[in-house]
């Protein structure tokens, strides 16, 4: 039972353009959503998060959008930079407890 | 403020041996989580502690796995009689229920286990 899904295993974007990573979830009890970035052989690094009472949160080049009716969230990175190349995971939780992760999307930024 | 640390970073063992991993959370974080990640998948929850109390265990955590957090600071995860299917990255994370964003977990670098 995959409660959090990232349907695109990979994404390739030109440097300077916008990267959009998508995530769908099935559990309507999720009340907090997070995005993590992961480089090989390292642990996930927290990027940005959003509460279920909001529909948008922005932090510098990163913006997360939440559409509760569609049970969908997205991460926008603009402008994309070569250092953004990594695997991105979305995660969700209920009541600040365990995180449920998607399978990840590998983002490659091309110069 | 040092981050979450894990030791060892890599472990190679033979099937049937026992292994133990350690996690030191961010100081003053009262929650500590263990996850496991296999190739091509996202991290999967194993167990978590609030202070020294183990509050939840996943069904992934068979009876060969045991985790402790004896004084509410560092934690250990032990795997007894390792099997090749235990090969994975074991990740530790911590959070604070007193912080502004108690939902945010901060991860360590992980321990990569290879069972031969």
Residue labelled with tokens 């999307």: A105
With CB atoms and an 8 Å threshold, state whether A96 touches B108: no
Report the alpha-carbon distance of residue B73 to residue B82 in Å, rounded.
26
- pLDDT category at B99 given cuts 50, 70, 90 is confident
Q: pLDDT tens for residues A24-56?
A: 999 999 999 999 999 988 999 999 999 999 999
Q: pLDDT tens for residues B40-53?
A: 899 999 999 999 99
- Which site among B5, B103, B112 would you substitute to test the A interface, given the most A Cβ atoms closer than 10 Å to its Cβ? B103
A32 contacts in chain B (CB < 8 Å): 103
Report the alpha-carbon distance of residue A75 to residue A73 in Å, rounded.
7
pLDDT under 50: residue ranges of chain A: none
**B68 and B76 in contact (C-beta within 8 Å)?**
yes
With CB atoms and an 8 Å threshold, state whether A101 touches B91: no
A104: number of Cβ within 10 Å: 24
Collect all residues with Cβ–Cβ distance below 8 Å to A14 and sequence separation of at least 6.
A80, A109, A110
């Amino acid at each position: 039972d995959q409660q959090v899904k990232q349907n695109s295993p990979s994404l390739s974007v030109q440097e300077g353009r916008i990267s959009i990573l998508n995530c769908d979830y099935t559990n309507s009890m999720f009340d907090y959503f997070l995005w993590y970035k992961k480089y090989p052989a390292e642990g996930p690094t927290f990027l940005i998060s959003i509460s279920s009472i909001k529909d948008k949160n922005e932090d510098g080049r990163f913006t997360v959008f939440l559409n509760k009716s569609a049970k969908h969230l997205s991460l926008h990175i603009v402008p994309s930079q070569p250092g953004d190349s990594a695997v991105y995971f979305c995660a969700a939780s209920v009541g600040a407890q365990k995180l449920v992760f998607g399978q990840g999307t590998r983002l490659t930024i091309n110069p | 403020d040092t981050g979450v640390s894990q030791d060892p970073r890599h472990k190679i063992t033979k099937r049937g041996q026992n292994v133990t991993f350690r996690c030191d959370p961010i100081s003053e974080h009262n929650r500590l989580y263990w996850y496991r990640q296999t190739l091509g998948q996202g991290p999967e929850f194993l167990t978590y502690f609030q202070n020294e109390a183990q509050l939840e265990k996943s069904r992934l955590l068979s009876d060969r796995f045991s985790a402790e957090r004896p004084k509410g600071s560092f934690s250990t995860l032990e795997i007894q009689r390792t099997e090749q299917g235990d090969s994975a990255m074991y990740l530790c994370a911590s959070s604070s229920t007193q912080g502004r964003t108690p939902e945010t977990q901060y991860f360590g670098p992980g321990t990569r286990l290879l069972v031969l």
